[in-house]
Amino acid sequence: MNIIPSKKMSLFEPAIFGDLKSFAKKQEAKGMELIDLSLGSPDIPPHEMLRNHMSELSKRSSSYGYTLSGSKEFLEAVANYYKRVNKVDLIPETEIVQTIGSQEGLVHLPIAFCDPDDFVLTTNPGYVAYAAGISLAGAQPYYIPLDENRGFLPNLNAIPEEIAKKAKLLILNMPGNPVPMSPSIEYFTEVVEFAKKYNIIVLHDAAYSEFYFTGEAPISFLATPGAKEVGLEINSLSKSFSLAGARVAYIVGNAEMISIIKQLKSNLDFGIFDPIQSTAAVALNHAEEITANLRSTFSERHTTLMNGLKALGWEVAPSNGGMFVWAKYPYEIDSVSFAFKAIEQTGVLMVPGTTFGSEGEGYMRLALVQEKHLLEEAVQRLKTISF
């Protein structure tokens, strides 16, 4: 049988993560001890109360039907969380929609709003799911330069007028992945004004909103005056509550936009396993208690890895949050080759910067997903790399 993929599949190249893992396993088979700083998969287990809650609900025979959408318990927990943490009022029934992890929401959202002639504004480097969603919708990406002088914030003033007029969607991510830029009310005010001027929908990816290393949490986009008129915010429980495998997230904001997303999702899925929804609600209702330990742990890891790489002569992007370090290495070698060389010589897995866009050349993304002593060991190993 001659199996031919669709033409659209040419837009979706295999991710490099699999190749890195495969190569690493070969080195491990030769006796190399690996330190994996590639995937942003939390190594800290979910809080005991969450594990116990999901376990008990999963035993119930009544837990296995279709949920169709977000449960009342879950939607109200999201609204209460936003009220407590972000000082943002949300109507559970009309301003919140559940997604099967943020990846699903990010990839499908452009389909709801974009046509083939539309531009989607995003960043280079940027999270890989954004490009996948843009391609799936058949829209055209336009990559906004990052302004290093303003903490790597996307420079809206650099977007040509003719592009802005054709743009339908703007995707932002702060604290960012892979570049951990931090938001401010001043910057988000610029975003709202820009969106109103050009009639552009804003989607802010707040997946790392609980990962901050100072006493002040990152501002929610929806806390900006006028933000709910122009946009949405997506957040996930994968990172902040170590529920990555549970696949539960939500989009909040403009009611009309939420209604359109609900219409799309009603044709795509039948909701999330009820024990997962209920456990997510418990997590959100106890967020302050659960995430305090997370911040302490990741703050220490961030300082350890950042200072260690700087001592090796790497240029580390300054950050006050996120779960990654974005750093420029001091060698004349392309980032993909360097990533494989590092695995071969040191056993340290990192993601080459070009995975996230052409402007990532010369950089590595390192995830803070190992204990402090292993991060220190990784730095010592990287010190020995040679060409």
What confidence tens digit (pLDDT) does each residue in 169-184 have?
999 999 889 998 888 9
Confidence grade of residue 313 (pLDDT, cut at 50, 70, 90)? very high
Phi, psi of 303, rounded to the nearest 5 degrees = -65, -45
pLDDT at 318: 87
In this predicted model, what pLDDT tens digit does every residue of 322-343 receive, in sequence order? Answer: 899 999 999 999 999 999 999 9
Residue 214 scores a pLDDT above 90 = no
- Counting residues of the chain whose pLDDT is more than 70, the rounded percentage is 100
pLDDT at 348: 97
Q: What is the DSSP string of 52-81?
A: HHHHHHHT-GGGGS---S--HHHHHHHHHH
Instruction: Work out whether the CA dihedral 290, 202, 265, 117 comes out positive or negative.
Output: negative
Residue 14 scores a pLDDT above 80 = no
Residue 153 scores a pLDDT above 80 = yes
The enclosing H or E element of 111 equals: helix 101-113
pLDDT at 294: 87
In this predicted model, what pLDDT tens digit does every residue of 215-265 receive, in sequence order? Answer: 788 899 999 999 999 999 999 999 999 999 999 999 999 999 999 999 999
The enclosing H or E element of 216 equals: none
pLDDT at 84: 97
Mean pLDDT (the chain, rounded) = 94
